[in-house]
Amino acid sequence: MRSDDLLAFAETVKGFMPRAEGLALYNAALEQAAVLPATWLEVGAWCGKSAVYLGAAAEQRGAVLYSLDHHHGSEENQEGWEHFDPDLVDPFDGRLNTLSTWQRTIARALLEDTVIGLVGPSSVVASHFDQPLDLLFIDGGHGRDVAWADYESWAPKVLAGGLLMIHDVFEDPNDGGRPPYEIYLAALSSGHFEETSREGSLRVLRRR
Ligand code: SAH
Ligand code: MG
C-alpha cells in the first residue's frame, strides 16, 4: 500500500491516537536514519492503530516493528471504566481480547512482514529481549507500577541516536494520569535523552 493510503487506513482503526499525533509518530520514525536491520518496538498495541502509523514508516525504512501487548486491555479499558468497548469482549471467557482485531488490522494494512506481534506482559518479554532498539514507543498501561516498569525495562535498550517516544504525557493533571508524564521527566533528567519534538500528548526524545 502507498503510504498515503496506509495513513488514511490508520485513521479508521479503533484506538486512542488522534490523527495529528499519529502523523507525528510516523514522521519522527521516518526521519530515523536506520542502520539495517533496524529494530523498533512499541509497548501497547491495542487494535493496531499506532502500529500502522509506525509500520508505514518501518516499511519505508526497512525496519521491523515489534508490537507488544498482552491484549487484555489496561485498567481503563475494563467494564465500568471510561474506555470500555463491549465489542472487544471475547465470549469464550468474558475477557477483553484485542488480538484478532490487531491481526486483522495488520493484515489489511499488508504489513505482516514488517509489524510483528509479541503477546505477553511487557516486563516478562523485556527481560528476555536482548536486541537493542533503534526506536521505542511507550504507550502501554498508565498505572504507576506498569508505566515505570515499561520505562525501566525498555528505555535502556534504546541505542545512542535512537528514539524514545512516549504517549499520554500530560503536564496538567486535569488532562490525564501522571505516570507517563513522570517517566518522561525521568528520561529527560537521566541526561541520556533530549526532546526533539512533541505533538499533543506525544513526546519524542533522542538518546544522546
Ligand atoms: N498504541 C495503541 C493504544 C495502546 S492502549 C493505539 O495506537 O491504539 C494500551 C495497551 O497497553 C492496551 O492494549 C493494554 O492491553 C496494553 N497493556 C497495558 N499494560 C500492559 C502490560 N503490562 N503488558 C502488555 N501490555 C499491556
Ligand atoms: Mg496512548
- Backbone φ, ψ for residue 55 (5° rounding): -65, -35
For the question of residue 142 being annotated catalytic, the response is: yes
* Helix %, strand %, coil % of the chain (to 5): 40, 20, 35
The overall average pLDDT reported for the chain is 96
Distance 16 CA to ligand 2 centre (A): 6
pLDDT in tens, 48-65: 999 999 999 999 999 999
Q: Rounded to whole angstroms, how far apart are CA atoms 90 and 119?
A: 16
Contact 140 CB / ligand 1 (< 6 Å): yes
User: Which of 54, 69, 98, 115 best tests ligand 1's pocket when mutated (most atoms within 8 Å of CB)?
Assistant: 69
pLDDT in tens, 22-48: 999 999 999 987 678 899 999 999 999
> How do beta strands 193-199 and 133-138 pair?
unpaired
Name residue, grid cell 520514525: 29
Contact 168 CB / ligand 1 (< 6 Å): no
Ligand 1, residue 73: give the atom nearest the CA: 15
